[in-house]
A and B are shown apart, each in its own frame.
Chain A
Amino acid sequence: MEGFVSFTNRCQGRDQLFRATQYTCMLLSYLIKNKADKKKLVMKLKQLESSMSSGRKMLRLGNMVHALVAARRAAEVPEVVPCLCLTASHVSRALYLVCDAVLWLRSVGLQPHVDKPKWHTWATKCYYCSLLMNLARDWYEISWRLEEAALEEKTKENSVWQKHSEELNGVKSDGLHNFLCQLFQILKRNPPLLLDLVKNLCDLSGPLDTLGIYKTNPGVIGFCGILSSLVGILTLASPHLKLKQ
């Protein structure tokens, strides 16, 4: 119970739990929507999903400051590529949160004349941009580790005997297979990087669908949302699994 209390005392912990609940409702209502006797349950699930979504919007008010502080911190990262990617990601996230706050003002009735579809599209574009920047950073982390691994392989293969034996056996290394093996090894050795990559890829499904780039269905979005929320909960519960920024 102490663990639950200390986890939920932080706003992020609560937000991830609500997010997981929201996407679970989305997935469940998609799975049972065609069953005739489950209409009431589907309605309740949609109500719960909507409550979680609007509640989370309210709880996010003021988070644009968090994003700007994170952007300022990211600007001090020594390596160029992560510095640029992380700063751009946090700034995009701050802009997304500003659009989100405007949408909240409209939903609450304080600014009824706000053009909801326009601001929703802008919010999604900013969020999408932030995810792409995160993925670029993940790719940078993977690529320098791949280069390091390839360099290690080369120094091992530089022995004449090995070259000779390869010629004799006529074995040719399969490029794609090798690459995938190395990628798998790198991700296995770096759980924070793997989790961050999985989270960002899962989060991508929502904006891709909203912006019409890659249409899926609420079931897929719900499933990906649940997965990314679980990763978020895991990284909050075990901070050593969070990719260092």
Chain B
Amino acid sequence: MEAWVRFSAQSQARERLLRAAQYACVLAGAALSRAGGGSGSLSRLQHLEAHLSLGRKLLRLGGSAEALGGAQRSLHLPDPVLRFCLTLSHLNRALFLACDNVLWAGKSGVLPGLALEKWSQRAFRYYLFALLVNLSRDAYELRLLLERAGAAGKRGRSPEKPPRAEGSARLRLQLQLQLLLQVLRDNPPLLLDLLRNACDLLIPLERLGLCRSSPAVVGFCGLASSLLSILTILHPWLKLKP
């Protein structure tokens, strides 16, 4: 019980729980409609999902300040690629949260004449760009680790053995994949960050009409990424630093 108190005292943790609940509703709604569920239950799930979404928007009010703080901190990173990626990611997140705050004002009735669809598209564009930058950062980290692992592997191998000619391309690919899996297994924070960003990517792609997918897939990806976020909050060592 004490653990729950400590966990839920953080705004981010609550927001992630609400997100998990929201995407669970989307998934449950998709499963129900496939199983031929009643329109009453479906509309209740949709109503609940809308409430959870609005509640999350309320919780995110003022979140741009935190994102700008993150951008300011990442300006001091020594590695230029990380500096660029993280600063850009935080800035896009700040813009996404600003649009999100405006959407909250529109949906809650404070700004009744707001063009909700336009602002929603804007928000999802910034969110998509932030995710793409995050994935570039993950790819860069992965490349560095692969190079390091590859160099360590070459040092360990005997220099006199000649490489076999036939099937060497397939063997090389297999070795690379094995190395990739090894690197990801040895670096859980990077693996979790990669999975989370990959799952999250589907949501803006679907909402912006760039990729067609079913509500079940969106719900599953949203739920998976929320659970991975909750995992990194519960175990801070699993969070990719910086």
Contact = CB atoms under 8 A, between A and B. Distances in A.
B5 A66 contact: yes
B179 interface: no
Nearest to A21: B61
Interface stretch (B11-19, B130-138, B146-154, B166-174): B11-19
Task: Give the size category of B's interface with A.
Answer: 20 to 34
A54 B47 CA distance: 14
Interface in B1-48: 1-2, 4-5, 8-12, 14, 18, 44, 47-48
- Interface of B: prevailing SS: helix
Given A11-B14, A51-B109, A59-B55, A69 B1 contact: yes
Given A9-B11, A48-B110, A51-B109, A110 B5 contact: no
B85 to A, nearest CB: 22
12 contacts: A1-B68, A8-B11, A9-B10, A9-B12, A44-B112, A48-B110, A51-B110, A59-B55, A62-B8, A66-B5, A109-B47, A110-B44
Given A4-B62, A44-B110, A51-B110, 6 more contacts: A9-B10, A44-B112, A55-B54, A55-B58, A58-B52, A65-B1
Q: How large is the interface on A (under 10, 10 to 19, 20 to 34, 35 or more residues)?
A: 20 to 34
A58 B109 contact: no
A122 interface: no
Contacts of A47: 108-110
Contacts of A2: 69
Given A2-B69, A44-B109, A47-B109, A55 B55 contact: yes
B141 interface: no
Most buried by B among A51, A63, A65, A66: A51
A223 interface: no
Contacts of A119: none
B139 interface: no
Given A47-B108, A48-B109, A10 B10 contact: yes
| A contact patch SS | helix
Given A1-B65, A9-B12, A62-B8, A51 B58 contact: yes
Interface of B: 1-2, 4-5, 8-12, 14, 18, 44, 47-48, 51-52, 54-55, 58-59, 62, 65-66, 68-69, 108-110, 112
Contacts of B58: 18, 51-52, 55, 59
Contacts of A51: 54, 58, 108-110
A65 B58 CA distance: 23
A47 B105 CA distance: 10
A2 B1 CA distance: 30
B110 A4 contact: no
A105 B198 CA distance: 33
Interface of A: 1-2, 4-5, 8-12, 14, 18, 44, 47-48, 50-52, 54-55, 58-59, 62-63, 65-66, 68-69, 108-110
Nearest to A43: B109
A18 B52 CA distance: 17
Given A4-B62, A11-B10, A109-B44, A69 B110 contact: no
A145 B52 CA distance: 48
Contacts of A109: 44, 47-48
A62 B1 CA distance: 11
A11 B15 CA distance: 10
Given A48-B108, A51-B109, A11 B8 contact: yes
Contact of B4 (A44, A48, A62): A62
Contacts of B110: 44, 47-48, 51
Contact of A5 (B1, B8, B65): B65
A4 B11 contact: no
